[in-house]
């Protein structure tokens, strides 16, 4: 894949927090390309730099050295984020949470609600539409977060340890939802995980250790 074909390309991208003796290097010189339709698992233990790499890909952090380049055609709503922790707004019910990105993008509320309900249907969560976040489980909340991403029609979905706090069965349903989102939207999907079972369901795997994104030949 050439650089021109990549949705996002990292070239020796590094991310350091702090300065001097207090500096912590979260990502060391990562090289990575994400193309349309890719299904990538970034695996490694907690603290290995997976979340920091995802933040670089998303543009939530800027590299302290090297570059992260996004395709010129990739707009702000073309990147969908699914975080590990709670990300739903407590005061809004499930369908309102799902419709929110569309409303913020200027869509009429009735159109946004219709699109939100369609997205909830695809992740088997329409029965949750009128519930508040406090009234649903962690696994259900993650499926709603996936539906919210689907509603915005992304070209790149970035999911940070989306099954990390869930039991195996619930985590499987969340991953089902993410794959459905990516397939339906024709989007690339990048999932960070420490779970080999999750990684096995994606086409490509890259490993992080101590902030380094290893080349395939470096993995033993």
User: For position 3, what pLDDT does the model report?
Assistant: 41
| pLDDT of the residue at 64 | 96
Residue span of the structural domain in which 162 resides: 3-218
pLDDT score, position 219: 75
> Cα-Cα-Cα-Cα dihedral of 72, 5, 162, 147, to 10°?
60
- 184, 53, 141, 151: CA torsion to nearest 10: -30
Q: What is the CATH number of the domain that holds 156?
A: 3.40.50.300
Look over the chain and give the mean of its residue pLDDT values, rounded to a whole number.
91
Measure the CA–CA gap between 10 and 22, rounded to whole angstroms: 25
The confidence score (pLDDT) of residue 75 equals: 85
**DSSP letter string, 132-146:** -GGGS-HHHHHHHHH
Q: What is the mean pLDDT of residues 62-70?
A: 96
pTM for this prediction? 0.90
* Residues ≥6 apart with Cβ < 8 Å to 98: 116, 117, 119, 120, 144, 147, 148, 151
| pLDDT, tens digit, 9 for 90 and up, residues 82-141 | 987 778 999 999 999 999 999 998 999 999 999 999 999 988 899 999 999 999 999 899
Structural domain total, the chain: 1
Could you tell me the pLDDT band of residue 220, with boundaries at 50, 70 and 90? Answer: low
Q: What is the pLDDT of residue 218?
A: 79
**Per-residue model confidence (pLDDT) at position 167:** 86
pLDDT at 205 over 60: yes
């Amino acid at each position: 894949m050439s650089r021109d074909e990549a949705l996002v390309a990292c070239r020796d991208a590094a991310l350091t927090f702090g300065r001097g003796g207090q500096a912590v290097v979260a990502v060391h010189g990562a090289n990575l390309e994400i193309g349309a339709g890719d299904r990538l698992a970034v695996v490694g233990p907690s603290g290995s730099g997976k979340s920091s790499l995802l933040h670089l890909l998303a543009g939530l952090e800027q590299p302290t050295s090297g570059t992260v380049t996004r395709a010129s055609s990739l707009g702000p709503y073309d990147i969908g984020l699914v975080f590990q922790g709670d990300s739903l707004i407590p005061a809004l019910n499930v369908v309102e949470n799902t419709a929110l990105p569309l409303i913020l993008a200027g869509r009429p509320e009735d159109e946004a609600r219709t699109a939100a309900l369609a997205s909830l249907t695809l992740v088997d969560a329409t029965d949750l539409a009128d519930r508040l976040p406090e009234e649903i489980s962690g696994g259900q909340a993650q499926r709603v977060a996936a539906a919210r991403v689907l509603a915005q029609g992304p070209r790149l979905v970035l999911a940070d340890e989306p099954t990390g706090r869930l039991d195996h069965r619930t985590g499987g349903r969340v991953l089902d939802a993410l794959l459905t989102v990516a397939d339906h939207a024709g989007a690339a999907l990048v999932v960070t995980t420490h779970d080999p079972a999750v990684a096995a369901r994606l086409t490509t795997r890259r490993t992080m250790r101590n902030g380094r994104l290893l080349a395939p030949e470096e993995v033993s």
